[in-house]
Chain A
Amino acid sequence: MSTAPAPSAGVPVLEMRGVTKRFGGLTAVEGFEARLGEHEVVGLIGPNGAGKTTVFNLITGVYELTAGAIAVRGRDTKGLRPDQITSLGVARTFQNIRLFRRMSVLENVQTAMDLRLGYGILASVLRTRRFREREREITEKSRALLDLVGLADDADERAGALAYGEQRRLEIARALATDPRLLILDEPAAGMNPQETDELGEMLHVIRKRHDLTLLLIEHDMKFVMRMCERIIVLDYGRIIATGTPAEVRANPAVIAAYLGDEE
């Protein structure tokens, strides 16, 4: 599946240094640091409004950095458009599902393969052999991805008509279609029952192996995060208050305080 060149050894898949984002007077993220190696699974947790989604928007280029630097597989993303950052090998899902609702399930995935379809307008209009071959190729790949997330039978369904859990899985298939090295998931288990959450966890493990991925995920379901992740970064009021293994983080007094504070 992988068509991107293998990253040279030692270069982190994602490196963030001193990353800061201010919205007017509000500092959403300050001095964020992270270094993700190949195949790592890292969790990003923190109370509501801590700045987690903002970090994702900074990685993917939706927001511009106020200060700091982000590199994807050794390439500084400064000044790049979101679609260019995607082509470096970053894909994401959204906290509030953002599918192409009036397109079919299959088309949602096909659209995300645009980066590897090089044909031009004339090829489309004249239905050239190149056009037909490339389309057949990505249709097959798209169906394989739908199969992977258990949506093979819904390929011709309108994306907006899928059940909630299915929409979340379609977002994952669509993200995979861009052929990422780094997949970032914004609350993938939100709104799922315990059984669905378990299935999601298993699915992510399979996907990670098969697609050779590094995962960064935001999640409020602590059980899920603790089980999935090798390392956890805890954010509170835009600042990292702890990092470490699930056990370390769980025992960290600052983390407990932040979450208790959140409960009040």
Chain B
Amino acid sequence: MAFVLDHLVHLSILVMLALSLNLINGFAGMFSLGHHGFFAVGAYAAAVVVFYGAQGSVPAGEAAVVAGSASSILWFVASLVVGIVAAGIFGFIVGVPCLRLRGDYLAIATLGFGEIVRILAQNTEAVGGARGMEVSYLLLERDVDTQNEYALLYAILVVALTAVTFVFIRNLIRSRHGRSLVSIREDEVAAELVGINLARAKLMAFVVGAAFAGLAGALYANYMTQIEPKEFNLIKGIYILLFVVLGGMGSLTGTIIAGFVLYVLDKIVLNLMPQEIQSLREVLFALILIILMISRPQGLLGHKELADTRFWQRLFRRQRGLKESS
């Protein structure tokens, strides 16, 4: 049970991360390769809150934080909020120079950002340097007895917040903000000439995308006992980029489906393979990404959502016209 829930937590966090990346890469059409950097900022910001806030505020004489206490839960919530805000600020900081960059240049600049975050974390003693940071459990005591309970609680929380992320981004896309972003992706000059403020729309995508990556990072940090700089490497970035590209740039449901498929392949099928193949895991990701970008750059669902596919409509005998008029 705990095994399944543990995977669910990890998958949900990755899906949240990929959904927010899709806002930037898929809908806004800005090919960012540094999304794991925002994830790292969120994780580290949350870890700092837990370490210096929750643990730091434990009165002398008491051993450690009491997980599940009212103050611990408050610190937990605070760590999520700080993770979101910190990553959002970084989204703005990275977004501003990216306004002038296009295509490959934007990809390289964001890739550089991801590396800078990791290297900074590695060399900053206050956040543990290369050793990383310890993150105590705040929500619930986690030991042999409560292992299942903890996993269940956390899985519910993370899945619920991933659902919130999905609804948030979907609603944003189906509004003037989404139309602006997609129109920029389609034709930047025409978009600007029908009155779209390019800088504002692009920065919005970066800040919102980064903020949700920050939330994913904060949830991740709180779930792990320890975070290390080397986890937040480019491979992570490529992993979630695969979710987005395979599912379809501009399809949120596609991201979720692709995420599930890839995660199962990675964690279950790959684990059954001989060691030699397993050791090629990272090479395989990069390879799949390259093959996909060349052979089917629109991904599984293209820019459609699951409910817009013929498969789904046949399944539920739903007519396009009916949906429109409701």
Measured CB to CB, the residues of A under 8 A from B are 60, 62, 81-83, 86-87, 91-92, 94, 98-103, 107-108, 110-112, 114-115, 117, 119, 121, 123-127, 131, 135, 156, 174-175, 177-178
Contacts and interface: CB of A to CB of B under 8 A. Distances in A.
Given A111-B180, A121-B177, 19 more contacts: A83-B195, A91-B193, A100-B187, A100-B190, A102-B182, A103-B183, A107-B179, A107-B182, A110-B176, A110-B179, A111-B191, A114-B180, A114-B194, A115-B195, A119-B175, A124-B171, A131-B175, A174-B194, A178-B194
Question: Secondary structure of the B side of the interface?
Answer: helix
Contact of B183 (A87, A111, A125, A135): A111
B192 interface: yes
B299 to A, nearest CB: 14
Interface of B: 167-168, 171-172, 174-180, 182-183, 186-187, 189-198, 204, 208, 303, 320, 324
A98 B192 CA distance: 12
B190 A114 contact: no
Contact of A112 (B194, B303, B320): B194
Nearest to B173: A124
A262 B156 CA distance: 73
13 contacts: A60-B193, A62-B189, A81-B197, A83-B198, A86-B195, A98-B190, A99-B187, A100-B183, A100-B187, A102-B303, A114-B195, A121-B177, A156-B320
A121 B195 contact: no
Contact of A119 (B176, B191, B192): B176
Interface centre among B172, B183, B320 (most CB of A within 10 A): B183
A156 B323 CA distance: 12
Given A98-B189, A100-B183, A125-B171, A86 B208 contact: no
A26 to B, nearest CB: 21
B171 A114 contact: no
Interface centre among A99, A100, A110, A111 (most CB of B within 10 A): A111
Contacts, number: 95
A107 B178 CA distance: 11
B28 to A, nearest CB: 13
B194 A121 contact: no
A111 B179 contact: yes
A13 B177 CA distance: 31
Contact of B195 (A112, A123, A127, A156): A112
A107 B179 CA distance: 7
Nearest to B178: A124
A86 B179 CA distance: 17
User: 8 nearest interchain CB pairs?
Assistant: A124-B175, A112-B194, A100-B186, A115-B195, A98-B190, A86-B195, A82-B192, A111-B179
B92 to A, nearest CB: 14
Contacts of A174: 194
Given A82-B192, A125-B168, A156-B320, A102 B186 contact: yes
Contact of A83 (B176, B192, B204, B303): B192
B193 A82 contact: yes
Contact of A121 (B167, B193, B208, B324): B208
A138 B194 CA distance: 15
Contacts of B320: 156
Given A83-B193, A111-B196, A174-B194, A124 B182 contact: no
B272 to A, nearest CB: 40
B318 to A, nearest CB: 15
A98 B171 CA distance: 27
B195 A178 contact: yes
Nearest to A112: B194
Interface centre among A101, A121, A126 (most CB of B within 10 A): A121
Contacts of A111: 179-180, 183, 191, 194, 196
